[in-house]
Amino acid sequence: MYKKAILVVSFGTSHKKTREKTIERIEQDIGRAYPDFKIYRAFTSRLIINILKIRDGFGVMTVKEAMAQMSKDGIEEVIVQPTHILNGLENEKMTEEIHTCKKLFKSVKIGAPLLTSTQDYHKVIAGFLEYFPFINGEEAYVLMGHGTAHYSNAGYAALEYMFRDHGREDIYVATAEAYPAIGNVIKQLKKKNYNKLTLVPFMIVSGEHALNDMAGDDEDSWKSLLKEEGYEVNCSLKGLGEYIGIRNIFIEHVEEARQA
């Protein structure tokens, strides 16, 4: 009988295939690492929860619903592990909701998002460099982060700065909804002699932003804008959750929370 559980909290996605490759893989890996814990799932996006329910008949709980269900199931000790990139708005909202439910359990601990400590940044970069090697001075990579109005958005600029510290001036970071935007990166690209670019989603799932805003065929997609600038453009559609190194960081954060 389980008395301990890990609640894996994600923003969510309405795309089944990418959910299976990313969010579910993270949950599965955490489950294998902690077989004595029951694994629960929650999404923070009510829009996605509603789409899945109406379109697919697929139920996903909110954070509060998951906390209530765990209490009903007799869970006494809970570790909540978000799959969020930054300590931003979604993570703060999640944390607030968890605190309102803490009285239901003997123990509730919360793990850190992907990019929290300086060491996290180094680990993410090290994992990335295995898949995106330096080829020549004519090719560069542009990572698409989501972006947020929260002050944690500065983490994207810090990430690019740390890529430079790792000797990779060919990797740029932009966001879909904040600063730096793709226009800011284009200004930097023009200072170099790049001919070929590879666009890479820096998001847990390769969902709407990656498929449409980054790799879509509309004239305002990143791919189209960069082609208009004369670059040869390739697109990777692999979400961060597909990288084992990224999933391992989340497992490490679960362990850090467990020992706290």
Q: Contact 214/222 with Cβ under 8 angstroms?
A: yes
| Residue 153: C-alpha distances to residues 173, 195, 228 (Å) | 12, 29, 28
Give catalytic residues, as residue numbers.
146
DSSP state of 53: I
* SS3 (DSSP) at 73: coil
Position of tokens 């666009």? 199
Q: What is the DSSP letter of 197?
A: E
Alpha helices, H only, 100-243: 118-131, 154-165, 182-189, 208, 222-228
Strand order in the sheet with 38-43: 38-43, 4-10, 77-82, 107-110
**φ, ψ for residue 82, nearest 5 deg:** -80, 150
Helix, strand or coil, per DSSP, at residue 127: helix
DSSP structural state of residue 249: H
Query: Under 8 Å CB-to-CB from 130, ≥6 apart: which residues?
Result: 245
232, two tokens: 């040869």
Is residue 70 exposed (0-12), middle (13-18) or buried (19+ Cβ within 10 Å)? buried
